[in-house]
C-alpha cells in the first residue's frame, strides 16, 4: 500500500471509529445517566436505542447523498456534525435534549461510516481486502475498547466526558481528510437552479420519508414492547403502521425514476441481497453474545464488572488480530472460504454456550469468545469484500449504507431476542435457550455460505 493510500486510510479510519466508539462507550454511562436524570432503566435505555435507530436510517440516506453530491463533502460534513453534537450533548438541560443530540451525533458519524467505505472502494484500487481489514481494525478496535475508555473517563470526569472525547478525533480526522481525500465531482444530474420538486425527486424525498416512518414506527413498537415487558394496543398499532409504510416504500421505490434504494438493481444483483441478509444474521449472533454474555457472567456466575471486562477483551482482541490476516487471505482466495470458516466457528461457539452450566470454569467462556472474535474478524473483511464484488460501482454509496443498516438492524434484533428469551430477569435457563437459538442461526449461515460457494452467488471482480 502506498504512502498516499496509508494516509487516506488513517484519515477515514479516525472518522469512522466515532460511530462504534460511541455506540459501545455509552453503555458504561447508563447508571450515571439514570442517577443524573432520575430515570428507570427502561427510560434510560433509549440513549442506546435512539443511536441505533438513527444510524440504521442515516446510513443509506447518506450513501445516497454521497453518490449525488460527492463523497468528500459528505465525509467532511459528517465530521462537523459529529463535532457540534459532541460539544453540545454534555450541556443538555434535560434527557430529551440529550437524546436529540445523540441522534444528531448518530447522523454525523453515519455519514462517515457509509461514505468512508465508498472512498476506499474508489480511491484504493489495489489490495482492497487489505484496505478493508484496516478499516475493520478501526471499527472493531473502537467497539472493543469503547467500554474500557468509557469506564475510565466516567470514573475520573463523569458522563459528559464520553462526548468530549470525540472532539480531538473529529478535529484530527477533519484536518487529515481535507488534505488527503481526493476531490470528487457530484452527479451530473445535480444542477443549479433546480426547482424544489426536481430536488425532491432527485433525492427521492418521498422514499426517504416512507422508509424513515416505516422503520421508526416498526422499531419503536417492538422496542417499546420489549422495554415494558408486555404488548399493548399502541405497540400493535405502531408495528402495523411501520409494516404498511414499509410496504408503501417498496411499491414507491419500484416506480421511482431516481429511487433512494434501487430495489430493481438489487433484484438484478441478488448477491447484494444475500450479503446484507447474511450480515444482519451475523450481527444478531455477535451482539447477542456481546450483550448477553456479560449479563450471564455477572448475574448468573456473580463475576465482578472488572473481571467481566477482562474476559470480554478476548472477543475484541481476537477480532483485531484476525482482521489483517483475513485481509491477506481474502486478497488471495476471495471471501468465500473465509466466510464459510467464520460460519463454522460461530456454530462451534454457539454450541459451546449451550454446554456451559452453573459450575463450568469461568475461563472456559473464553473459548466461545475466541470463536466469535475470530469469526467477527473474518466477517468484517469478508462481508465487505463480498459486497464490493457484487455491487455496481455507481451505487456503491447506497450499497455501503444499506450494508451498515444491516449491521444496526442485527444489533437491534439481538437486543429484542435477549429481551424475549429472558423476560423480566436474566437467568441461566434463558441463557441456554439463547445459545440454542444462536446455534440454529449459525447453522443457517453455514448453509448460506455453502450455497454461495456452490451457486457462485458472489461475482468475482
Tens-digit pLDDT profile for residues 345-382 = 999 999 998 888 777 887 888 888 899 989 988 887 88
Query: Percentage of the chain with pLDDT > 90?
Result: 13
Contact 142, 325 (CB under 8 A): no
Residue 113 has pLDDT above 50, yes or no: yes
CA distance 186 to 199: 14
- What mean pLDDT value characterizes the chain? 79
Residue 458 has pLDDT above 50, yes or no: no
Q: How confident is the model at residue 43 (pLDDT cuts 50, 70, 90)?
A: low
Residue 14 has pLDDT above 90, yes or no: no
Contact 353, 435 (CB under 8 A): yes
List Cα–Cα distances, 138 to 17, 44, 46, 298, in angstroms: 6, 28, 26, 28
Contact 47, 98 (CB under 8 A): yes
What pLDDT, in 10s, does the model give residues 178-224?
Answer: 888 877 765 555 555 556 677 677 777 888 889 888 878 887 787 67
Break the chain down into helix, strand, coil percent, rounded to 5. 85, 0, 15
CA-wise closest residue to 404 among 137, 142, 63: 63
Average pLDDT over residues 242-265: 84
**SS3 label, residue 108:** helix
Which has more pLDDT, 360 or 248? Answer: 248
Q: How confident is the model at residue 395 (pLDDT cuts 50, 70, 90)?
A: low
Average pLDDT over residues 18-26: 81
pLDDT of 40 reads: 65
Residue 295 has pLDDT above 90, yes or no: no
pLDDT of 454 reads: 43
List Cα–Cα distances, 341 to 130, 334, 344, 354, 382, in angstroms: 18, 13, 5, 20, 11
pLDDT of 460 reads: 41
Average pLDDT over residues 105-132: 77
Instruction: Report pTM.
Output: 0.71
Q: How confident is the model at residue 452 (pLDDT cuts 50, 70, 90)?
A: low
- Give the chain's length: 461
pLDDT of 394 reads: 66
Residue 275 has pLDDT above 60, yes or no: yes
pLDDT of 457 reads: 44
Range with top average pLDDT, 53-57, 91-95, 143-147: 91-95
Residue 233 has pLDDT above 50, yes or no: yes
Domains observed in the chain: 1-187 (1.20.1250.20), 262-461 (1.20.1250.20)
Taking residue 227's Cβ as centre, other Cβ atoms within 10 Å add up to 16
What pLDDT, in 10s, does the model give residues 134-177?
Answer: 776 777 677 767 767 777 787 788 888 888 988 998 999 899 88
Average pLDDT over residues 333-345: 87
CA-wise closest residue to 18 among 122, 235, 169, 192: 169
Query: Percentage of the chain with pLDDT > 70?
Result: 82
Average pLDDT over residues 291-296: 73
CA distance 431 to 422: 7
Q: Which cell numbers in the block locate residue 72?
A: 468528500
- Listed in sequence order, the residues at least 6 apart from 289 whose beta carbon sits closer than 8 Å to its beta carbon are 315, 349, 353, 368, 369, 372, 438
Q: How confident is the model at residue 254 (pLDDT cuts 50, 70, 90)?
A: confident
pLDDT of 220 reads: 77
pLDDT of 445 reads: 87
Residue 461 has pLDDT above 50, yes or no: no
Amino acid at each position: 500500500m502506498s504512502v498516499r493510500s496509508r494516509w487516506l486510510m488513517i484519515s477515514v479510519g479516525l472518522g469512522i471509529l466515532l460511530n462504534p466508539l460511541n455506540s459501545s462507550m455509552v453503555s458504561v454511562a447508563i447508571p450515571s445517566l439514570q442517577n443524573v436524570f432520575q430515570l428507570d432503566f427502561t427510560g434510560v435505555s433509549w440513549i442506546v436505542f435512539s443511536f441505533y435507530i438513527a444510524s440504521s436510517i442515516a446510513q443509506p440516506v447518506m450513501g445516497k447523498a454521497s453518490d449525488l453530491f460527492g463523497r468528500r463533502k459528505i465525509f467532511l460534513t459528517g465530521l462537523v456534525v459529529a463535532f457540534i453534537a459532541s460539544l453540545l450533548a454534555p450541556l443538555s438541560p434535560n434527557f430529551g435534549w440529550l437524546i436529540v443530540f445523540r441522534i444528531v451525533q448518530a447522523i454525523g458519524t453515519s455519514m462517515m461510516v457509509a461514505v468512508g467505505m465508498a472512498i476506499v472502494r474508489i480511491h484504493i484500487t489495489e489490495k482492497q481486502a487489505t484496505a478493508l481489514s484496516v478499516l475493520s481494525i478501526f471499527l472493531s478496535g473502537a467497539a472493543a475498547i469503547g467500554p474500557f475508555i468509557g469506564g475510565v473517563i466516567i470514573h475520573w470526569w463523569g458522563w459528559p466526558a464520553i462526548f468530549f472525547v470525540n472532539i480531538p478525533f473529529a478535529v484530527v480526522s477533519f484536518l487529515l481528510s481535507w488534505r488527503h481525500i481526493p476531490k470528487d465531482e457530484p452527479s451530473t444530474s445535480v444542477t443549479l437552479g433546480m426547482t424544489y420538486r426536481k430536488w425532491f425527486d432527485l433525492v427521492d424525498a418521498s422514499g426517504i420519508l416512507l422508509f424513515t416512518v416505516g422503520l421508526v414506527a416498526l422499531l419503536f413498537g417492538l422496542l417499546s414492547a420489549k422495554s415494558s415487558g408486555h404488548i399493548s394496543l399502541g405497540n400493535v398499532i405502531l408495528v402495523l403502521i411501520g409494516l404498511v409504510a414499509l410496504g408503501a416504500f417498496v411499491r414507491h421505490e419500484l416506480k421511482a425514476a431516481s429511487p433512494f434504494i434501487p430495489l430493481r438493481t438489487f433484484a438484478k444483483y441478488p448477491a447484494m441481497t444475500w450479503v446484507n441478509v447474511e450480515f444482519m444474521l451475523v450481527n444478531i449472533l455477535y451482539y447477542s453474545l456481546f450483550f448477553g454474555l456479560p449479563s450471564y457472567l455477572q448475574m448468573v456466575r456473580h463475576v465482578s464488572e472488572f473481571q467481566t471486562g477482562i474476559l470480554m477483551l478476548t472477543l475484541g482482541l481476537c477480532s483485531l488480530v484476525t482482521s489483517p490476516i483475513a485481509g491477506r487471505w481474502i486478497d488471495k482466495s476471495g471471501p468465500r472460504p473465509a466466510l464459510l470458516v467464520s460460519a463454522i466457528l460461530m456454530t462451534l461457539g454457539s454450541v459451546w454456550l449451550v454446554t456451559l452450566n452453573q459450575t463450568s470454569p469461568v475461563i472456559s467462556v473464553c473459548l466461545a469468545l475466541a470463536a466469535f472474535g475470530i469469526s467477527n474478524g473474518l466477517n468484517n473483511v469478508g462481508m465487505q469484500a463480498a459486497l464490493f464484488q457484487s455491487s455496481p460501482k455507481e451505487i456503491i454509496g447506497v450499497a455501503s449504507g444499506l450494508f451498515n443498516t444491516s449491521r444496526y438492524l442485527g444489533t437491534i434484533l439481538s437486543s429484542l431476542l435477549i429481551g424475549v428469551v429472558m423476560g423480566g430477569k436474566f437467568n441461566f435457563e434463558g441463557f441456554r435457550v439463547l445459545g440454542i437459538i444462536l446455534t440454529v442461526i449459525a447453522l443457517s449461515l453455514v448453509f448460506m455460505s455453502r450455497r454461495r460457494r456452490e451457486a457462485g452467488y458472489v461475482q468475482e471482480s
